[in-house]
Structure formats: structure tokens, C-alpha cells
């Protein structure tokens, strides 16, 4: 079980938790092969506030042996009630957020919205040549 948390400006935004289960575990979750391991993708969307520009993405993890089939919607408290539950602690996995909605492409320049107005970052080196008739 893991619970992602975005930490910013003294606040914690708990994101949707995810449950990883072994190949012999009954229930719902992302199945991971014992011998080969595996990969998974986690995607989350939430409303952005400017304070999130300086943020850290953390994850709280709990390992356990399920007593019964694992159900979706489990919480950290539910996971800690499971057989042999061990809180593996909090780990930082990334800095910041992807705030694509604040960026726009205008005439080959990337413009970024900010509290102070627009910041412009050149995306391409532009060479211009003017031809005049003789």
C-alpha cells in the first residue's frame, strides 16, 4: 500500500492511494510478479495553487500480509490493521509539480503565467531574412 502526499508551504495534500499486490494475493490492486518485479504508472490531477511550485512529492508505504481479499479504497489506517503490517516510512520521490496549464506557446516562445505577469523563455533561435525587390 502506498499513499502519495504533495508537501508544500507547510501543507500536505493527500493524493489517491494505490495498492500493489503479489501474484498470489486475492483482491483488487496492481499485481506485481514475485520473480521479475514490475513497473506501474500512477497519474493524478488536482487543482494547482502557486505555492505548489516549491513542493515535494512524498510517499508513505505500508507492507502487510492480507487476511482476506484486498479491496479498493483502502486507507493507511486499514492497511495498518492488516496482518504483520509494517509502516515503511515516508520517502521523497520527486520535487515540484508539472504545471503545464500555466504554459502556452506563442510565436515560438514559451510563455509562463506568474503572479507578476508573464515570463518569456525563448524556445527556438530565430533567424530572419528580409527580401526587398530591386
Which residue is associated with the grid cell 500493489?
20
Convert the pLDDT of each residue in 66-94 to its tens digit.
888 888 888 989 999 989 999 999 999 88
Please tell me the predicted confidence (pLDDT) of residue 86: 94
The verdict on pTM exceeding 0.95 is: no
**Cell numbers at residue 120, please?**
518569456
The per-residue pLDDT for range 8-64, each reduced to its tens digit, is 999 999 999 999 888 889 999 888 888 888 888 888 888 888 888 889 999 999 999
**Residue 78, burial from CB neighbour count under 10 angstroms (0-12, 13-18, 19+):** middle
Amino acid at each position: 500500500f502506498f499513499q502519495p502526499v504533495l508537501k508544500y508551504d507547510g501543507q500536505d495534500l493527500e493524493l489517491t492511494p494505490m495498492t500493489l499486490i503479489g501474484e498470489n494475493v486475492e483482491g483488487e490492486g496492481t499485481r506485481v510478479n514475485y520473480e521479475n518485479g514490475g513497473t506501474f504508472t500512477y497519474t493524478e490531477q488536482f487543482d494547482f495553487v502557486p505555492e505548489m511550485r516549491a513542493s515535494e512529492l512524498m510517499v508513505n508505504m505500508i507492507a502487510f500480509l492480507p487476511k482476506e481479499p484486498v479491496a479498493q479504497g483502502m486507507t493507511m489506517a486499514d492497511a495498518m490493521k492488516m496482518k504483520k503490517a509494517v509502516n515503511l516510512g515516508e520517502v521523497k520521490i520527486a520535487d515540484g509539480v508539472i504545471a503545464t496549464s500555466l504554459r502556452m506557446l506563442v510565436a515560438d516562445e514559451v510563455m509562463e503565467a506568474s503572479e507578476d505577469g508573464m515570463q518569456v523563455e525563448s524556445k527556438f533561435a530565430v533567424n530572419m531574412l528580409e527580401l526587398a525587390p530591386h
